[in-house]
């Protein structure tokens, strides 16, 4: 009943908003009839004819009819007229040039009356009250000639106006003819007034040159450090909806090399890290899948191995961007699949007629691996072919490229826990691990980026822009692993003992020690092509985008080798801490002695290939209108998008079957590398001996006949994980915006239809559980979803620098492709299964936002807001235990297989019921230039976001929404004095639930996986040494806090990663 009530209220609201849009359209229609008289054109040629005759000819050529009295018209006068494509009102002025006549309009009737007491001037005044023109132009910096996006241009004494786009261009429609005065303002610049004689029914040009307000900025502040943020804040001030904009130069003030790292500075954004760098982002407490990532307004497809829709943002170099826009409340002309919000990556365009560029070379040092790294980047832009009308040049070309290479590393421990309890020797139940793994990674990461943008202005009304962006991230890994498998073999129950004085079971009676090495590569590439067009006329604005983007990910895990010991009894030392060591229970046995490794289990080669493509086209139409003294615009448009995603896995496992010719006790010792990381986890955990891959391959090649294909494992690890997905989206919208004095109202409705088809491979078994005896067959499916999304925004400008915003929006989040397909990943050795869910529904959300913004004249902002989201059918990963019958090799006879039934931990995406998400955020960017002397160079950049949620699933009530962090924040203290600049930045990411398990009987969250809180301190300093040269140094992750996950409670860690600190230094040259 409650859900029906909610849906009923939503439909009521949708109907109300639709009626509002229709009302605005009708108002515009009525008004446009008034203005149409001026805009109607006619071609007419007559010689020596009466006025009445000419009026009848006009009636034949136009839809209008004249009403007049013959007494009011001097019908004896003969007139000759010859016009082509002339406006009707001007033709009538010619006809009645010698008579004191005035024309009134009533629908399609033109009433002619004669008032001799009115002189000619009064007549012209009366007829011109309904004559309008268009004003457009550009706002630029007087000294640099660079465009100023986000500047506001207002007709003096009214609220009519507009804001400049990212190219610094503006357009104001329906400006009354005659002499008019316009005021232009921009944060950090002196506001000016300019007058212009507006000609009716023409495009009038007025450009503005603004001068920096030195009194506001202060001479101590490095101007270059503020220019980009001035533009970003001005764009944010002029926007219709709630958003944050960060400029390239603000990004450059922090030591962030990829997009995710830069986004962690934005209020309300939390990031997930991989190899020490930001990868995925979460907005306002919503999971990463609830956020859409765009390039120039269109979504880039994801090619992550788990089928996520968004591309991992560590792929994209941040230096290839001009700004990043983070939209927190969408408008109807935006894609609706963004419950968390939308991140739009903007590429740069050429700025002026002079060649401008920047070149940077640098290096660095990584402490965990103790090696150097390198960085190089360059960008150039220039405009060409200036004319009298297009003074900044018709053609613009901007290109940029970057290359980053680093040797880094990671110390990592992993635990795997079953989603059930284990009874120990004391008769009590505990959550105990299935295995414990040590991972020592050495990595070489390179990131390459290239961007090229060409824009061409045919004239002031027509423009085309083409952009190409390429990004590549390549990782070459050499990862050594030591793993302790508990409860292997056939131990006597109970498998776990608890010794006297220990708080947890610390003895496992049957542990197998395994030694691996896994050289692998990751190659991730994206290509995006964007063609944008803008075409304007007196009555219509048309813009469109043609977009194509490809993403490819080849995860070549290379060859993995698996050596093992026989089962032994193991003691867990410091169990329940972050630094667990496993030793033999028998003190005479050294668990790290290479000669106790007496089995070469197998080797395997694995390669995962994911390919995705997005092709889309959209077109928008805008019709400006005037309602009394208030202006507005009606917009409508349509969009088509097609996304394809495929995944293929190549897997080949070969089991070692000894014919008695190989001494397995000494085999492991013969292929050792002779190296062991003595500083693993700060030297607190013993890693053990490691393998040399070259020596191991030599043994394999020399004994190829002893390695047999494991057909069942090869099947389990490949074909059931294949999928092909094809998604088509058709969307349309209508919206209206109206400015009434200090208010802006925006209302509209968007409709989207999604159709997904997929192909995958699934097991067919008689009882649904016997994997080994099942057959694999292709499964095809189709899912369709419809979304009706009303949106409403209000913006109130208390004064030019103080704004209050509110928004009520509706949005959704599509499920990942791999989640929708019936895929299966089965790891027999780890007793883990990952399943897809073709019955998964997209999440739907109702969103309410309020935001207050106070922009500071010295280029800053103080803002605060609250938000609420009601999310139905949210997606989450659920862990549960299920039994499966599988084939394994007989440990007593390697030439035979046997079927066993095992408990598997199964993870599957599922739908929750409903989640309520509340939050509040505050943000401050301020330059403390009111302080005396050298202290006036101090600045603060700080933000904090609090979120709270209550979610329910079919078996869990009042839990936290998976992916929601309670606290996130940033605090940066900066100092700028003449040529010197420095800042210290502290970032805090709050903990979140990663996946949900069944309800625990001891503690309800015993089987939930959590990511813990994390904070990081970074330092950056630079100095301008003159003539465009700058030297800089950056220090990252000085706090060296681990990326940590735990299972239920903090003393039960499941994943711990340490990256240590690293730094960068270099020199740049700008001209």
Q: For residue 122, give the CATH number of its domain.
A: 3.55.50.30
Q: Are residues 121 and 148 in the same domain?
A: no
pTM summary value: 0.78
In a domain, 258, yes or no: no
Per-residue pLDDT reduced to its tens digit, 953-995: 888 888 888 888 899 999 999 998 888 999 999 999 889 988 8
Model confidence at 433: pLDDT above 90? yes
Return the closest-CA partner of residue 316 out of 262, 246, 243.
Answer: 262
* 743: confidence class by pLDDT, cuts 50, 70, 90: very high
Residue with tokens 């009987």: 1001
Residues 807-834 have pLDDT tens digits of: 999 999 998 888 888 777 777 767 778 8
| Listed range (187-201, 366-380, 886-900, 950-964) with the worst mean pLDDT | 886-900
Q: Which of 130, 165, 183 is the last residue of a domain?
A: 130
Taken as a whole, the chain contains a residue count of 1071
595 within domain boundaries: yes
Are both 79 and 192 inside the same structural domain?
no
Residue 363 lies in a domain: no
Q: Which of 93-97, 142-146, 408-412, 1012-1016 has the lowest mean pLDDT?
A: 93-97
Mean pLDDT of all residues belonging to the chain: 84
User: What's the CA gap between 872 and 5, in Å, rounded?
Assistant: 14
262: in domain: no
| Percent residues over pLDDT 70 in the chain | 88
Query: Per the omega criterion (within 30 degrees of 0), is the bond before 494 cis?
Result: yes
Angle of the 88-95 helix axis to the 51-61 helix axis, nearest 10: 170
Q: Which residues pair with 1011 in a beta bridge?
A: 992, 1045
Q: What is the predicted pLDDT for the residue at 48?
A: 83
Confidence at 122, pLDDT banded by 50, 70, 90 = very low
pLDDT at 118: 38
Confidence label for 114 from pLDDT (cuts 50, 70 and 90): low
What is the extent of the structural domain holding 452? 375-486+493-1070
Quick check: is 1029 in a domain?
A: yes
For residue 763, the model assigns a pLDDT of 65
Say whether both 99 and 144 belong to one domain: no
- 444 by Cβ neighbours in 10 Å (0-12 / 13-18 / 19+) ranks as middle
Instruction: Please give the Cα distance from 250 to 861 (Å, whole number).
Output: 14
Confidence of residue 113 (pLDDT cuts 50, 70, 90): low
| pLDDT tens column, 539-570 | 899 999 999 999 999 998 888 899 999 999 99
Higher pLDDT, 881 or 681: 681
> Quick one: pLDDT band at residue 949, thresholds 50, 70, 90?
very high
Residues 163 and 90 occupy one common structural domain: no
More confident site: 380 or 1028: 380
- At 346, list the tokens: 């903007």
The whole-number pLDDT of residue 483 equals 95
Distance of CA 1057 to the CA centre of its chain: 25
d(CA 323, CA 263): 11
Can you list the alpha helix ranges (DSSP code H) found in 40-142?
51-61, 88-95, 120-128
Answer yes or no: do 741 and 653 share one domain. yes
Q: Would 318 be classed as within a structural domain?
A: no
In a domain, 361, yes or no: no
The sign of the torsion formed by the CA atoms of 361, 366, 367, 369 equals negative
Which CATH number do you get for residue 902?
2.40.170.20
Query: C-alpha 681: how far from its chain's center?
Result: 33
The residue-averaged pLDDT of 92-101 equals 68
Give the pLDDT of residue 627.
81
Who has greater pLDDT, 440 or 996?
Answer: 440
**CATH value at residue 155:** 2.60.40.1120
pLDDT of residue 906: 83
One domain for residues 554 and 667: yes
Residue 728 half-sphere exposure, CB side, CA atoms within 13 Å? Answer: 5
Q: What confidence tens digit (pLDDT) does each residue in 1042-1066 have?
A: 999 999 999 999 999 999 998 999 9
Question: How does residue 893 score in pLDDT terms, banded at 50, 70 and 90?
Answer: low
Q: Give the torsion sign (CA, 296, 297, 302, 308).
A: positive
- State the Cα–Cα distance between residues 67 and 60, nearest whole angstrom: 15
Specify if 2 maps to a domain. no
Both 125 and 137 in a single domain?
A: no
Structural domain count, the chain: 3
In a shared domain, residues 70 and 203: no
Pair 58, 193 in one domain:
no
Confidence of residue 891 (pLDDT cuts 50, 70, 90): low
**What are 249-286's pLDDT values in tens digits?**
777 767 777 888 888 878 888 777 777 787 788 888 77
Domain boundary residue among 130, 146, 174?
Answer: 130
Residues 904 and 802 in one domain: yes
Interval 906-922: pLDDT, tens: 888 888 899 999 999 99
Residues 55 and 176 reside in one and the same domain: no
Question: Same domain, yes or no, for 516 and 594?
Answer: yes
Which of 62, 96, 130 lies at the terminal end of a domain, its last residue? 130
């Amino acid at each position: 009943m409650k859900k029906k009530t909610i849906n009923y209220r939503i439909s009521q609201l949708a109907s109300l908003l639709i009626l509002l849009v229709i009302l605005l359209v009708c108002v515009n229609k009525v008004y446009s009839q008034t203005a149409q008289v001026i805009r109607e054109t006619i071609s007419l040629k007559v010689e020596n004819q009466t006025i009445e005759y000419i009026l009848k000819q006009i009636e034949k050529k136009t839809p209008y009819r004249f009403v007049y009295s013959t007494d009011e018209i001097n019908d004896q006068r003969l007139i000759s007229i010859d016009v082509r494509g002339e406006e009707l009102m001007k033709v009538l002025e010619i006809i009645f040039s010698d008579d004191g006549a005035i024309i009134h309009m009533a629908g399609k009737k033109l009433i002619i009356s004669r008032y001799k007491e009115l002189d000619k001037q009064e007549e012209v005044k009366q007829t011109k009250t309904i004559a309008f023109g268009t004003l457009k132009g550009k706002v630029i910096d007087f000294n640099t000639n660079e465009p100023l996006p986000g500047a506001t241009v207002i007709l003096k004494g009214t609220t009519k106006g507009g804001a400049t786009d990212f190219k610094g261009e503006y357009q104001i429609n329906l400006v009354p003819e005659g002499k008019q005065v316009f005021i232009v303002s921009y944060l950090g610049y002196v506001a000016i007034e300019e007058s212009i004689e507006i000609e009716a029914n023409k495009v009038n040009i007025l450009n503005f040159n603004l001068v920096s307000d030195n009194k506001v900025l202060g001479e101590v502040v490095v101007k270059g450090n503020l220019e980009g943020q001035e533009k970003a804040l001005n764009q944010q001030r002029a926007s219709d909806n709630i958003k944050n904009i960060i400029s390239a130069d603000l990004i450059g003030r922090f030591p962030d090399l990829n997009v995710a790292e830069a986004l962690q500075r934005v209020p309300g954004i939390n990031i997930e890290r991989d190899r020490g760098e930001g990868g995925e982002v979460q907005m306002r407490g919503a999971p990463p899948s609830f956020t859409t990532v765009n390039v120039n307004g269109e979504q880039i497809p994801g090619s992550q191995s788990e089928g996520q829709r968004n591309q991992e943002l560590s792929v994209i170099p941040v230096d290839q961007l001009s700004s990043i826009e983070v939209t927190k409340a969408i408008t109807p002309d935006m894609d609706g699949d963004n419950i968390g919000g939308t991140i739009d990556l903007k590429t740069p365009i050429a700025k002026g007629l002079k060649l401008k560029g920047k070149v940077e070379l640098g290096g660095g040092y990584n402490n965990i691996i103790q090696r150097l790294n390198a960085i190089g980047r360059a960008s150039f832009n220039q405009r060409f072919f200036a004319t009298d009308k297009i003074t900044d040049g018709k053609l613009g070309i901007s290109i940029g490229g970057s290359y980053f290479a680093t040797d880094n590393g990671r110390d990592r421990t992993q635990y795997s826990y079953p989603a059930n309890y284990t009874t120990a020797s004391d008769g009590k139940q505990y959550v105990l691990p299935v295995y414990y793994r040590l991972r020592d990674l050495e990595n070489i990461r390179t990131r390459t980026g290239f961007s090229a943008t060409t824009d061409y202005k045919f004239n002031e009304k027509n423009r085309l822009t083409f952009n190409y962006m390429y990004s590549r991230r390549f990782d070459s890994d050499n990862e050594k692993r030591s793993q302790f498998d508990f409860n292997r073999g056939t131990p006597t129950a109970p498998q776990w003992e608890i010794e006297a004085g220990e708080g947890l079971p610390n003895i496992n009676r049957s542990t197998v020690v395994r030694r691996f090495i896994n050289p692998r590569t990751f190659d991730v590439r994206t290509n995006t092509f964007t063609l944008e067009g803008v075409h304007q006329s007196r009555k219509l604005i048309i813009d469109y985008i043609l977009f194509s983007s490809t993403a490819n990910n080849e995860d070549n895990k290379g060859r993995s080798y698996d050596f093992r010991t026989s089962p032994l009894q193991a003691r867990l030392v410091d169990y329940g801490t972050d630094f667990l060591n496993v030793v033999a229970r028998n003190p005479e046995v050294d668990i790290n002695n290479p000669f106790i490794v007496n089995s070469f289990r197998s080797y395997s080669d694995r390669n995962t290939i994911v390919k995705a493509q997005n092709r889309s086209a959209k077109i928008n139409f805008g019709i400006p209108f005037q309602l009394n003294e208030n202006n507005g615009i009606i917009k409508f448009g349509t969009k088509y998008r097609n996304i394809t995603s495929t995944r293929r896995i190549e897997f080949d496992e070969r089991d070692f079957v000894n014919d008695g010719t190989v001494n397995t006790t000494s085999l492991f010792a013969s292929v050792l590398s002779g190296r062991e990381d003595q500083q693993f986890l700060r030297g607190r955990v013993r890693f053990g001996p490691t393998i040399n891959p070259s020596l191991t391959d030599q043994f394999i090649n020399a004994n190829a006949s002893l390695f047999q294909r494991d057909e069942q494992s090869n099947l389990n690890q490949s074909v059931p994980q294949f999928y092909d997905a094809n998604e088509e989206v058709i969307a349309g919208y209508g919206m209206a915006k109206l400015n009434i004095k200090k208010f802006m109202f925006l209302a509209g409705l968007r409709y989207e239809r999604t159709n997904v088809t997929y192909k995958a491979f699934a097991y067919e078994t008689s009882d649904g559980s016997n994997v080994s005896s099942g057959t694999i067959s292709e499964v095809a499916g189709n899912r369709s979803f419809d979304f009706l999304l009303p949106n409403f925004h209000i913006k109130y400008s208390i004064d030019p620098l103080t704004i209050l915003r509110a928004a009520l929006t509706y949005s959704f989040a599509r499920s990942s492709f791999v989640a929708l397909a019936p895929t299966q990943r089965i790891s027999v050795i780890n007793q883990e299964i990952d399943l897809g869910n073709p019955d998964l529904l997209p999440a739907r959300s109702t969103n309410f936002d309020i935001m207050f913004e106070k922009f500071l004249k010295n280029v800053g902002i103080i803002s605060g807001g609250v938000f609420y989201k009601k999310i139905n059918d949210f997606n989450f990963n659920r862990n549960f235990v299920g039994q499966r019958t599988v084939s394994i090799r007989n440990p007593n006879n390697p030439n035979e297989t046997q079927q066993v039934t095992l408990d598997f931990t199964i993870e599957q995406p599922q739908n929750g019921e409903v989640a309520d998400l509340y939050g509040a955020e505050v943000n401050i960017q301020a330059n403390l230039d009111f302080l005396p002397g050298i202290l006036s160079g101090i600045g603060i950049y700080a933000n904090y976001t609090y979120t709270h949620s209550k979610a329910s699933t079919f078996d869990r009530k009042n839990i936290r929404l998976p992916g929601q962090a309670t606290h996130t924040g940033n605090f940066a203290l900066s100092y700028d004095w003449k040529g010197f600049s420095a800042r210290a930045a502290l970032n805090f990411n709050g903990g979140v639930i990663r996946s949900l398990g069944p309800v625990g009987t001891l503690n309800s969250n015993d089987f939930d996986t959590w990511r813990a809180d994390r904070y990081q301190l970074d330092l950056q300093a630079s100095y301008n040494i003159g003539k465009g040269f700058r030297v800089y140094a950056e220090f990252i992750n000085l706090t060296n806090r681990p990326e940590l996950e735990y299972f239920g409670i903090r003393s039960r860690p499941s994943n711990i990663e340490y990256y240590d600190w690293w730094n960068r230094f270099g020199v740049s040259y700008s001209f």
